[in-house]
Structure 1
Amino acid sequence: MLSELAADRTRVADLDVEILALERSLSASRIQRAQVQERLDAYKYPVLTLPNEIIAEIFIHYLPNYPHCPPLAGLESPTLLTQICRKWRGIALSTPALWRAISLPDPDIPPAEQGALLEAWLGRCRVHPISLRFHVYSEPGELGTEILTAIGPHRTRLQYLVLNQISLPQLLTFEGPISVLRHLELLLEDQEHPLVIKLSFCDSPLLRTALLNANGVESTMMPWAQLTSLALHEFFPADCAPILQHTLNLVHCELALVEDPNHEHVPDVTLPSLRSLTLTHILKADSITGYLQTLTLPGLRSLRVPETFLGPNPIDTLKSFVSKSGCKLERLCVTGTRSGFDSFYPMAFPSTKISFAQWAMSSVDWIITEFGDARELEELSATASE
């Protein structure tokens, strides 16, 4: 018994020594930690030393170039910038330019939340002009009505407006002058009962570029004479002429044509300022021959055309068109060429840069892709007018 007590006393003494050693080691570690933390506290991250205005400018460059729209959440969204730190959140929320381009609906966000997000973004961008893209490839339903109703009070700030597959009654949300509107894409869904009163965009003095389908044209009044870039989607050739006859200032034009089963007469059209023309077809039309010959384009520099549009003698058709127009083609792209026939084009047009594509894309997505960069179109128009 006495021996066990002696052993325990010895063990306690040994543990006291170990505890003392550990306490000294812990004390030393705490001193070292304090020294390291002091150095960290004294260090200033370069980005945090920048003025708020510079950080805000960096944030703007993080987003897709305006008027292209970032997603509502995730990468390339201004929402992500609010989740890094308190300072960045404050800067992001107080930078209106981050919130001025809005694309809806977002498939990754519950529909019930998107109306509130739209209201938040519209509030954060304050009085800045807006780029709004509303793409719906199915029935928009209540979500579409809610979104379009929310944007209505901010209509006068719309600068770039894309509406895809909305109904004609929903279009009335945008009734009234839109003085800062520069670019309009309007692809309306089919409707049994068209609007009795057309929506007018004639009070949009800055409007220069437009993409429209037949329902869009029938439901609106457009300032055709001031447009410099125009795309028409799914039109009969004869239906294009009355529009183009009023667009004498066009610089860039894209026509997605549908073969007319009635083969109506196509009136001649002269576009003196046109520099770039793209023709394609919708619904796999076998051919729309003869249409190019109805156009006189003295300023044309770039032409993209399906070979089926040129008839059985495409080289002769192109030569006749160029001669009639008196234009100097710099670029020619022929789509859907016959095998072994490509070599004849460079021989016939030695001073023109020739290219070929085996098939002509015929969906509206192609037109939007080619036509959608409003900045490039405005630059093209400005260059042509110099």
Structure 2
Amino acid sequence: METWMMVIIASVFPTPTMPNAAGPTNAQLRTHLADIRARIETLELELAALRVSELSVSATLDSIVYPVLTLPVEITREIFLHYAGPPIQQYPSQSNPNPLPLAAVCKLWRTLALSCSQLWPALRGRPSSDPEALLNLLQSRLSRVGNHNFRINMPLPLYTLGDKILPILAPYFAQLRSLQLAVSGPVCFPKDAGHMVPLSALEALAIDGLHDREGEISFPPCPKLHDVWLCRLTQISLPWSQLTFLGLRGQSLGDCLNILGQTSQLMTLNISSESDVMPPTTPLRLQHLRSLWTLTAPIIDHLILPALQELKIQELMETVTWMVHNLVSRSGCTLRQVCLQFPMSLADTERFILPLQKLKGLSLMGLHCNFADWDPFLQQIADGKLLPDLEMFLLNDVHTDIPIKSMLAMLDARGNPPKGIARLQSFRYSHWQPPSDDTHSHRAADHIRKLRERGMTVELGWGPLWFRENIDVGSHTHHTKLIIGNDSYFG
């Protein structure tokens, strides 16, 4: 650097020559000044060229260290949208990623994220206990959605902030696709010319009715609504006849049946009513119901379900086997998937599934049985004498060791079955506690590896709830969780 400076100084201010006795003439001075100016112009051109080169080298270096920052804005936006896109089909209950971390990476990403309205299609989580914080969050999110549809997967507390929340939501009523509310008492929805503003895009609704609620809730028109969750709530006007999915929690059995009597198009029902005794009634016919998930087995006695294919029961009753068999008999339905989430013996399990030979999927949890009982049970499945159409088999949170040799023999037989017997595609087993030694859990490793190579999904696990199904799918907690339609019964 010092050498360059010396060269520049020497070029601009050359070593003066000894003046002649008469001194330089005016012509000589003008010539010398012109020469200095020419040299200055040349050096300025060289400096400009060096600055251009500096910027080019700096940009190249930045692209090597942070290549993502050099992407065109359009491509970066597409990556953002892919990141925050809808859940993949195999896991419909999975929540979309939160776009906020994208906005926290750098100034450029923050600008892009906040300007991309498609990134903000949903407001999810639990509402803040601070009313101002909740209202500010709602306003800031809605201000970014533009003309896109929007989902609110957070229970908005209308029982305390309804007079402030609804005016904020009103301009976006035509863009709301799903909505969660917590209510208590009357709700004053926005009106236009004396009529409630319709929720024209609403497809899914979850409402938690808190205590001390009085009177019926008049809900705005919602012509596209097809999925509804109601908790501790019955007095509400909804387009029941167009629903295809309904979840009910905390209502009496009689109230549940009154609601179900209006749901002519229902295809999926997730229900847990209060335990009460009802006299025998004429069974209610739900012509299109294909999937029933119930925490309360007595509802089964009051239904006729000719299209039923999937059944999940989470309440153990002595009469549950008899109730299910009667349901199948009077409905004329063919069950294809059954999930029992309560402990049973193998003998009771066999008695339960014996008339259900068309089952393709069976999920059992918490089995209690003797070690010796496994061999004949697994042998019947291996031979196809029991469940010849079985393709998915889940033994979850088992309380008794299963004979590894018998299990592998069953998997071998059903992995390459004779004609007329279905091929088992998926088998999962979990034991309630870890094995006493490592050899127990690794004994079948090579054998299972070969089964997997042949295309069978085989998963073994030890430890509590290692393969327990996600019981929160479609279930109600203190803050209502809205899952739209696709309950996953088998993993």
With structure 1 as the length reference, what TM-score do the two structures score?
A: 0.71
**Structure 1 pair 260–317 and aligned structure 2 pair: CA distance change class (3 A):** closer
2:184 is aligned to: 167
The code of the aligned residue for 2:356 comes to: F
2:273 is aligned to: 257
2-structure distance, mates of 1:156, 1:86: 33
The code of the aligned residue for 1:324 comes to: R
1:324 is aligned to: 330
1:351 to 351, 355, 358: 358
2:173 is aligned to: 155
**Structure 1 pair 69–150 and aligned structure 2 pair: CA distance change class (3 A):** farther
2-structure distance, mates of 1:306, 1:87: 51
Does residue 200 of the first structure (1) align with residue 200 of the second (2)? no
Query: How much does 1:193 deviate?
Result: 3.4
Query: How much does 1:214 deviate?
Result: 3.9
2:301 to 293, 296, 302: 293
SS class of match (1:354): strand
Percent of aligned pairs sharing the same letter? 26
2:111 is aligned to: 90
SS class of match (1:191): coil
1:272 is aligned to: 287
The code of the aligned residue for 1:222 comes to: L
2-structure distance, mates of 1:200, 1:106: 22
Within 5 Å, give how 1:1-386 maps onto structure 2: 39-43=57-61, 44=63, 45-63=66-84, 65=86, 76-103=97-124, 105-107=126-128, 111-135=131-155, 141=160, 146-163=164-181, 165-170=182-187, 172=189, 175-195=196-216, 198-201=217-220, 203-215=221-233, 217-218=234-235, 220-260=236-276, 263-281=278-296, 289=298, 291-306=299-314, 308=316, 311-312=318-319, 314-340=320-346, 341-352=348-359, 353-358=361-366, 367-368=475-476, 372-374=482-484, 376=486
Is 1:225–1:249's contact at 8 Å kept on the other side of the alignment? yes
Query: How much does 1:112 deviate?
Result: 3.4
**Structure 1 pair 259–54 and aligned structure 2 pair: CA distance change class (3 A):** same
Count of residue pairs the alignment pairs up: 327
Is 1:68–1:131's contact at 8 Å kept on the other side of the alignment? no
SS class of match (1:253): strand
**Structure 1 pair 190–292 and aligned structure 2 pair: CA distance change class (3 A):** same
Query: How much does 1:110 deviate?
Result: 5.8
Query: How much does 1:63 deviate?
Result: 2.9
Is 2:311–2:337's contact at 8 Å kept on the other side of the alignment? yes
Is 2:127–2:155's contact at 8 Å kept on the other side of the alignment? no
**Structure 1 pair 183–324 and aligned structure 2 pair: CA distance change class (3 A):** same
Q: Which has the higher helix share?
A: 1
The code of the aligned residue for 1:367 comes to: S
SS class of match (2:143): helix
Query: How much does 1:139 deviate?
Result: 9.9
**Structure 1 pair 368–259 and aligned structure 2 pair: CA distance change class (3 A):** closer
Worse overlay, 121-130 or 336-345: 336-345
Q: Where does the alignment leave 5 or more consecutive residues of structure 2 unmatched?
A: 7-51, 367-396, 398-467
Query: How much does 1:270 deviate?
Result: 0.8
Query: How much does 1:260 deviate?
Result: 1.4
The code of the aligned residue for 1:83 comes to: A
2-structure distance, mates of 1:89, 1:68: 28
**Structure 1 pair 374–139 and aligned structure 2 pair: CA distance change class (3 A):** closer
1-structure distance, mates of 2:93, 2:322: 42
Is 1:292–1:321's contact at 8 Å kept on the other side of the alignment? yes
2-structure distance, mates of 1:139, 1:223: 21
Query: How much does 1:171 deviate?
Result: 6.0
Is 1:209–1:228's contact at 8 Å kept on the other side of the alignment? yes
Worse overlay, 237-246 or 352-361: 352-361
SS class of match (1:321): helix
SS class of match (1:124): coil
Query: How much does 1:324 deviate?
Result: 1.1
Worse overlay, 87-96 or 333-342: 333-342
Query: How much does 1:317 deviate?
Result: 3.1
SS class of match (2:200): coil
Is 1:241–1:267's contact at 8 Å kept on the other side of the alignment? no
With structure 2 as the length reference, what TM-score do the two structures score?
A: 0.57
Is 2:166–2:189's contact at 8 Å kept on the other side of the alignment? no
Structure of higher CA gyration radius: 2
Q: Where does the alignment leave 5 or more consecutive residues of structure 1 unmatched?
A: 1-19, 25-33, 282-287, 380-386
Q: Deviations over 1:293-331 (max 9, x none)?
A: 32111111101124545x43x434322221211111001
SS class of match (1:373): coil
2-structure distance, mates of 1:267, 1:171: 38
Is 1:306–1:337's contact at 8 Å kept on the other side of the alignment? no
Is 2:158–2:187's contact at 8 Å kept on the other side of the alignment? no
Is 2:264–2:287's contact at 8 Å kept on the other side of the alignment? yes
**Structure 1 pair 234–153 and aligned structure 2 pair: CA distance change class (3 A):** same
Q: Deviations over 1:264-286 (max 9, x none)?
A: 554421111111001104xxxxx
The code of the aligned residue for 1:246 comes to: Q
**Structure 1 pair 208–64 and aligned structure 2 pair: CA distance change class (3 A):** same
2-structure distance, mates of 1:364, 1:79: 25
